Amino acid sequence: MLVVAGAVLLLSGCGSSGAKPAKTQPKRATLAASGLLTPVQQAPPLTLKNYLGQPVNLASYRGKAVLVTFIYTHCPDICPLITSNLRVAQNLMGTKTASKAEIIAVSVDSKGDTPKAIASFLARHEMTGRMQYLVGSTHELAKVWKAWGVGSERDAKQPEFINHSGLIYGVTGSGKRLSIYAADFKPAEIAHDVPLLAAR
């Protein structure tokens, strides 16, 4: 069972009481994430096609920080917020840091997330070419939702809406799922964390 830890322990070397200062290990920078997942484990497999029909495999992004979220194009509130804040985070990073990150959005609406709807959604939020938007059949997507612990259920009273998990997962450069960000994360948090995630 994954447990969310609210703080990150700083790692430092031992000091010395001698006359000469001892060499110490540099402190490990703290992530600004909403929480950490423990125990830290390899991220679940994620192999789907994007809305353009191109295969995408999470494992191919080793050496980079990968931000994985689950959204749908007709979402009235949380999904546009997540997408817009990810765009702001990319802008805050600058070109060099942004090159160390990949953003993957996985659909939670196999029927409504058509290529046309996704292209319009990405254009509207100025994210065309800046994030992967993965799709599949309900069966294909359900396997991914289950592996990542993501809930996705059509609203009984308003069937045009889908109730789903609104989190962003941070995957390290070595492929481990380490951090989580709430839907209302501050873009500066992810801009800060990307180099740290990429290096781990």
CATH code (residue 47):
3.40.30.10
Closest CA to 67 of 152, 187, 151: 187
Tell me, what's the pLDDT at 46? 96
pLDDT in tens, 162-171: 777 788 999 9
Residue 19 lies in a domain: no
Residue 14 lies in a domain: no
Domain that holds residue 59: 31-199
Residue 139 lies in a domain: yes
Tell me, what's the pLDDT at 23? 42
Count how many domains the chain has: 1
Tell me, what's the pLDDT at 93? 92
Contact criterion met (CB below 8 Å) for 66 and 179: no
pLDDT tens track of the chain, all 200 residues?
344 443 332 222 323 333 343 443 334 578 888 788 888 899 999 999 999 999 999 999 999 999 999 999 999 889 999 999 999 999 999 888 888 999 999 999 988 999 999 999 999 999 999 999 999 999 999 999 999 988 766 665 666 667 777 889 999 999 999 999 998 899 999 999 999 999 99
Residue 3 lies in a domain: no
Tell me, what's the pLDDT at 16? 30
pTM of the model: 0.81
Tell me, what's the pLDDT at 157? 66
Residue 170 lies in a domain: yes
Residue 125 lies in a domain: yes
Residue 22 lies in a domain: no
Residue 167 lies in a domain: yes
